[in-house]
């Protein structure tokens, strides 16, 4: 007997969207070069050798190699003092050959993440974490946007999901994922509920949603009983479990046949995040020209956009 609520679940893989993003990146690279700017370069700063940080750096390597953007590794020892960390940031900020700077998390405990927020140049802040970029995002001004939520929005658009007036529940209010995602969705006229650890009845908030976005860092948090039939589920979780496997924040198998659509982990939001980071590195290149974040919204000339679309159609 097929249960009454059995639905066909669409698997939202990032691959098709990735193709379109790669085409856009290629066109933007040509345009940046046409404007006489230096080629884009991302510098990632690794302090110590945390496993999660190393894994993320390796995934950036793979993506940037594909889109032919340089990713420069900068490394500091695990015992780096706050003063030396700030000095290293100042060097990267001042280096004109570097377009974007990403500091790999987590930092060793003697380094307060606030140091980074205060000392990273907003013009090179490709993860949109500085007060300037976060503030501009919340005010609706052009800014460098955190890659993960910006990529999530692209995925929803690419899947043809209408956001206007839609009830969306976001689980997690971190500064890099949940909170900026809620802002971006609100700006797209969704009706957003932002949940977190103190939310009293999480299931009540998820059962009423048409779209659920999970960024809680908690494996298997979103289970079948919390999801109404047909709901779209976007999973931003990246959790390394006992056997070294990477899983998201949902009970993926349990949601098949219940959710209307779901992003797998790995292979859903992850590949899109790294490509948006590459696009942000280019966006920072445009911003560097006149030294203003107003230039991050690169309006590509028509001819370039047409060429990018043709490339995409050609596969």
* Residue 202 in the binding site for ligand ADP (CB under 6 A): yes
CB under 6 A: which stretch of 59-67, 193-201, 224-232, 279-287 binds ligand ADP? 193-201
The span from the first CA to the last CA of the chain, in angstroms, equals 42
Closest C-alpha among 266, 177, 186, 241 to residue 215: 177
Q: Of 104, 156, 215, 272, which one interacts with ligand ADP (CB under 6 A)?
A: 215
Residue of 50, 186, 218, 228 that binds ligand ADP (CB under 6 A) = 218
Decide: 264 and 13 in contact? Cβ < 8 Å. Answer: yes
**CA–CA dist 149, 128 (Å, integer):** 11
Token digits of residue 77? 């020892």
195 binding ligand ADP? (CB under 6 A): yes
Among the listed residues 120, 156, 163, 176, the single contact to ligand ADP using CB under 6 A? 176
Among 196, 254, 307, 309, binds ligand ADP (CB under 6 A): 196
- Closer residue to ligand ADP in complex, CB, 205/210: 205
Query: How many CB atoms neighbour CB 105 within 10 A?
Result: 15
Q: Which residues pair with 152 in a beta bridge?
A: none
The C-alpha atoms of residue 101 and residue 292 are separated, in whole angstroms, by: 16
Residue 197 binds ligand ADP (CB under 6 A): yes
- The reply to whether 199 sits near ligand ADP by the rule CB under 6 A is yes
Asked if 227 is part of the footprint of ligand ADP (rule: CB under 6 A), the reply reads no
Check residue 227 and report its DSSP letter.
Answer: S
What the block records as the tokens of 41 is 């370069």
Give the residue, chosen from 59, 174, 187, 191, that forms a contact with ligand ADP under the rule CB under 6 A: 174
| Residues of this chain that bind ligand ADP (CB under 6 A) | 171-174, 176-178, 195-197, 199, 202, 215-218, 221
């Amino acid at each position: 007997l097929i249960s009454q609520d059995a639905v066909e679940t669409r698997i939202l893989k990032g691959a098709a969207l990735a193709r379109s993003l790669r085409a856009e990146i290629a066109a933007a690279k040509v345009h940046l070069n046409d404007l006489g700017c230096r080629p884009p370069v991302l510098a990632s700063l690794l302090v110590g050798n945390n496993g999660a940080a190393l894994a993320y750096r390796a995934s950036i390597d793979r993506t940037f190699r594909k889109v032919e953007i340089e990713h420069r590794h900068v490394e500091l020892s695990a015992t780096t003092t706050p003063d030396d960390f700030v000095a290293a940031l100042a060097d990267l900020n001042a280096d004109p050959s570097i377009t974007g700077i990403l500091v790999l998390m987590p930092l060793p405990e003697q380094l307060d993440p606030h140091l980074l927020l205060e000392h990273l140049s907003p013009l090179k802040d490709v993860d949109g974490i500085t007060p300037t970029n976060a503030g501009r995002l919340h005010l609706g001004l052009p800014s460098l946007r955190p890659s993960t939520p910006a990529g999530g929005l692209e995925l929803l658009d690419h899947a043809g999901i209408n956001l206007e007036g839609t009830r969306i529940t976001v689980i997690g209010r971190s500064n890099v994922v949940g909170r900026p995602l809620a802002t971006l969705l609100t700006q797209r006229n969704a009706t957003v509920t932002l949940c977190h650890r103190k939310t009293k009845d999480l299931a009540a908030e998820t059962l009423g949603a048409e779209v659920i976005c999970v960024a809680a860092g908690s494996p298997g948090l979103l289970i079948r009983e919390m999801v109404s039939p047909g709901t779209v589920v976007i999973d931003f979780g990246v959790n390394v479990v006992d056997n070294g496997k990477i899983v998201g924040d949902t009970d993926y198998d349990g949601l098949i046949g219940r959710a209307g659509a779901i992003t797998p982990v790995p292979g859903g939001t992850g590949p899109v995040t790294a490509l948006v980071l590459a696009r942000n590195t280019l966006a920072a290149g445009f911003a560097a020209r006149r030294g203003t974040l107003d230039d991050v919204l690169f309006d590509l000339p028509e001819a370039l956009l047409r060429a990018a679309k043709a490339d995409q159609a050609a596969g």
